[in-house]
Amino acid sequence: MVFLVAGCNIPVRADGTSKNNRFTEVITVAQATGFEGFLPQDQEQPGQLVPEPTGTQVAASQGKSSPKKPAKKKSSPQSTRKSAAKILDEASKLPWPENVIKLAGAGAVLVVDNHTGDKEPQELFSHNPDQPYVPASILKLVTSAAVLEAMGPDYRFVTDFYLAPPNDLWIVGRGDPFLVSEEICIIAGELLSLGLKRIENIRLDTTFFEPGLILDGTTYTNNAYDAFNTALAVNFNTVSYLIDRKGKIVEFDECTPLTPITVKLAEKNRPRKAPRQDKEFRINISSSPIEAEEQAGQLFLDIFKKFGIEVTGSVVIGGQLPSEATPLYRHANSINLEELLVLLLENSNNFIANQIFLTLGAELYGPPATMEKGQKAIFAYLDRHNLDLLNLVEGSGLSRLNSLTARQMGNILAAFEPSIHLVKSEQDGSVFYKTGTMSDISTLAGYLIRPERPQEPISFVILLNGNYYPGTREKILDVLKTRFIDQPVAGKS
């Protein structure tokens, strides 16, 4: 049996699958709705080293002491570019390893061979390896490694549905980071196939996460990478809409209805002039986590109506599942954890990273999800692999209270190596990497692939903190590729 969503051309079978390729269909929406690469020109593309969007300085410290960081040098963008160009030019004339030392300056660089045949890894090059730095998004490798080991590659995030008197549908969020509109269409089709045709209220139980949870590094901007984390989150806690040439707010696509919150945010952020052609907007729900939960309920309500499920009451948030409720349906997301991590690492999605960070803690140590339980889950992973603990307050790398050393990151890369296929690579396959970028943070971590021994990669870490490094990260990588791939030299330098 197949259901066709009214006004949404996605045929959905009663078994919850689509005639389309579900993975491709869902990912298309995901890439359009809230990745850290929010503006198209800022998105990291496979085979390129493109900086992620810049983050903003965090004001609140949540009572934590800030790691030691290099003092910022106040300079204009023009003078910064000139200084960087001068350093790059001077370094290009120097021999190894003076060229890398000149480029890195106060930053850190580490190159490690974990395949020497000895028990201990061999450091091929190190510069400031034990100095702590803000890692930015390379921290996502740590979060990914921890959840993959704890939950397994085939794990799928779930959302639960219950019926309770008088005839209310309870939706219990459990932190699914990929609950996009297409997934809700699948859910509606499943509920309809189970005989659900009429309900009174839609009630949301979001107690799986600590109430009002806001992680350090989150700032109140419209940027998609700044979205709040909630137990029940739809479309990455962002809204999408179009403004046409007449200035009218219209649906972003057939599967994403204009909810009241979408309209409110669109009006609040309306441009002064109507665009010359239809223009799409994607912003996060930045006022509060509660408003994000309201958006989730409204989207379920609108999509249920498209499926012909009658809702006679309203959306109610803030409650807890009553004891007399009976289970109706558990929805497992269409993509598994490994597929999700590929998206997370390729697009550097902060929202997904922190949903995973929080949900992992709640799954391992019981709800509600808190920062402390997420930390505990990451620290447990590090302990199992005999790795030093990091200064870590969230799982995406947005917070400037996170810090680690090049040696710590190098050890993490050694543990993560079996999952190297999850990270993006250059087009020629010579480098697999994850970048980290904020306004004055530039980091890079990954693996150099030796042509003669492709199954035995060399790990590398580049940590640069300061506003005087434009283009330096990429130049250091080029030098490392020349030294250890094009002209390999054994032994420590």
Q: How many CB atoms lie within 10 A of CB 427?
A: 10
Q: How far apart are CA 378 and CA 295, in angstroms?
A: 30
Domain 2-32+156-335 has CATH 3.40.630.10: no
- Calpha distance 66→149 (Å, rounded): 29
CA 87 – CA 108 distance, rounded (Å): 16
Q: How far apart are CA 424 and CA 394, in angstroms?
A: 23
As beta bridge partners, residue 112 has: 123, 459
Q: What is the pLDDT of residue 25?
A: 41
Pair 339, 23: CB distance under 8 Å: yes
Helix (H, G, I), strand (E, B), or coil: what is residue 420? helix
Give the pairing type, strands 453-465 and 441-450. antiparallel
Q: Enumerate the domain spans of the chain.
A: 2-32+156-335, 77-152+339-486
Selecting from 3.90.550.10, 3.40.710.10, 3.10.20.30, 3.40.50.300, what CATH number does the domain 77-152+339-486 have? Answer: 3.40.710.10
Compute CA distances 385 → 81, 129, 382, whole Å.
Answer: 41, 20, 5
Same fold, 2-32+156-335 and 77-152+339-486: no
**Contact, 180 vs 455, CB < 8 A?**
no
Looking at residue 489, its amino acid is V
pLDDT value, residue 40:
26
Instruction: For 124-140, give the DSSP string.
Output: EEEESTTS-B--GGGGH
Backbone angles phi, psi at 156, to 5 degrees: -130, 135
Predicted local confidence at residue 427, as pLDDT: 81
- Closest Cα to residue 423, out of 403, 448, 442? 448
Q: Would you give per-residue pLDDT tens digits along the chain (493 residues)? A: 333 333 344 444 333 333 334 334 444 444 433 333 322 222 333 334 434 433 322 222 233 333 344 444 444 555 566 677 777 888 888 999 999 999 999 999 999 999 987 778 999 999 999 999 999 999 999 999 999 999 999 999 999 999 999 999 999 999 999 999 999 999 999 999 999 999 999 999 999 999 989 999 887 777 777 789 999 999 999 999 999 888 899 888 778 889 999 999 989 888 888 888 888 888 888 778 899 999 999 999 999 999 999 999 999 998 999 999 999 999 999 999 999 999 999 999 999 999 999 999 999 999 999 999 999 999 999 999 999 999 999 999 999 999 999 999 999 999 999 999 999 998 888 999 999 999 899 999 999 999 989 999 999 999 999 876 778 999 999 999 999 998 765 544 4
- Residue 359, class by beta-carbon neighbours within 10 Å (0-12 exposed, 13-18 middle, 19+ buried)? buried
**Which residues 6+ apart lie within 8 Å of 248 measured at CB?**
none
